[in-house]
Amino acid sequence: MSYVRRWVLSAGAALALMIGFAGAGATAHAAPNPAGTTSATARLSDGQAVDSAAALKKVADYWTPERMRHATPVPEQTPGPLTKALPTRPSGPRGSTPPAKPAASGSVSPMITESAVAGKVFFHKPSGGDWVCSASALNSDSKQLVITAGHCVHEGAGGNWMQNWTFVPRYRSGARPFGTFAAKEFRTFNSWISSSDLSRDVGMVTTWPLNGNKLVNVVGGHGLNWNWGNSVAITILGYPANANNGEIQQWCQGTTSDGGGGTIKLQCNFNGGSSGSGWLMNFNDSTGLGQVDGVMSTLDSTGWNRASYFDDAVKAMFDAQGGVT
């Protein structure tokens, strides 16, 4: 493994801050989703919708280098007793969507240590404080999609949608080589919103173009996998705070197993800040691309991380949000 920085797995297992804006005031909403998801317009911490050049500038201005440096890593969720009945596996035929390389040849220079498709997410919680998660660009019709954990877009039961949300691909010790991409629209599962259901801890975010350039066209995007079972070989890319204070992208590799309660698990001991990291099948370390088969959700006391199992419902979420522009 040469493309990303290695995280040791246990044996048991801006710089371009000015945001381009087109179509001020336009709002695009996905159709109702039978998988049981809800979308919402991204907002500033004062409640204003991020739907104009002025609002986009406020997001960019908010995230100063100092504020990013002092944002708190979101703690991994605690799995608790995973007693929920497992979903039928698979819930339908196995499926995949393709990853995409950057549109402009040579736009992403080679890096030995990190994938440009993975990055950090920064946001303000309505309940207080500035926080950081991990996420990945996801290839879709819009070329504007990010995938992360549900708890990185919505606070869960009793809470609200995150504010001042922005994605920084290949963040490294404060460097933002591709700029920052502000959120336009969020989507997550209703059961995460209503009851913090860890089997549905998944979020997708449509981002605004930056200087007229769409995220996946700039850095590339992973594909999506669903219904592939609970034992798959994966690579996880993210920013756990227990390595280099979360300032440098890390990786972990292994084969997953059934995590109980509608999850899969791997013993990586990735802690706070890695929430939303992509669990990637078919990862290619020469391109930094793979297919997302889960996103980091929880960490237990013995170092096991878990991710929601990706089934037909996750594919339906992707279908609902992937074309929003």
Q: How far is CA 81 from CA 84, 175, 285, 311, 321, in A?
A: 9, 40, 36, 22, 31
pLDDT tens across 279-294, in order?
999 999 889 999 999 9
Whether residue 215 contacts residue 144, with contact meaning beta carbons closer than 8 Å, is answered with yes
Helices (H) and strands (E) in the chain, counts: 5, 17
Whether residue 273 contacts residue 189, with contact meaning beta carbons closer than 8 Å, is answered with no
Which segments of the chain have a pLDDT < 70? Answer: 1-35, 80-89, 105-113
Q: How far is CA 302 from CA 161, 172, 265, in A?
A: 31, 28, 12
pTM of the predicted structure, to 2 decimals? 0.89
Q: Evaluate the CA torsion angle 144, 254, 152, 121 in order and state its sign.
A: negative
pLDDT tens across 68-87, in order?
999 999 988 888 665 454 55
Q: How far apart (Å, rounded) are the C-alpha atoms in residues 68 and 65?
A: 5
Whether residue 289 contacts residue 143, with contact meaning beta carbons closer than 8 Å, is answered with no
* Secondary structure letter of residue 24 according to DSSP: T
Structural domains of the chain, ranges and CATH numbers in brackets: 37-75+90-100+113-321 (2.40.10.10)
Q: Which residues of 24-60 are buried (b: 16+ CB within 10 A; e: fewer)?
A: eeeeeebeebebbbbbbebbbbeeeebbeeebbebbb
61: enclosing H helix or E strand: helix 53-62
Output the pLDDT for position 23.
Answer: 37
Nearest CA to 266 out of 301, 291, 303 is that of 303
Q: How far apart (Å, rounded) are the C-alpha atoms in residues 134 and 274?
A: 5
- What are 128-132's contacts with CB under 8 Å, separation 24+? 129/72, 130/67, 130/70, 130/71, 130/72, 130/164, 131/71, 131/72, 131/73, 131/74, 131/162, 132/68, 132/71, 132/72, 132/73, 132/74, 132/239, 132/246, 132/273
The DSSP bridge partners found for residue 233 are 255
152: enclosing H helix or E strand: none
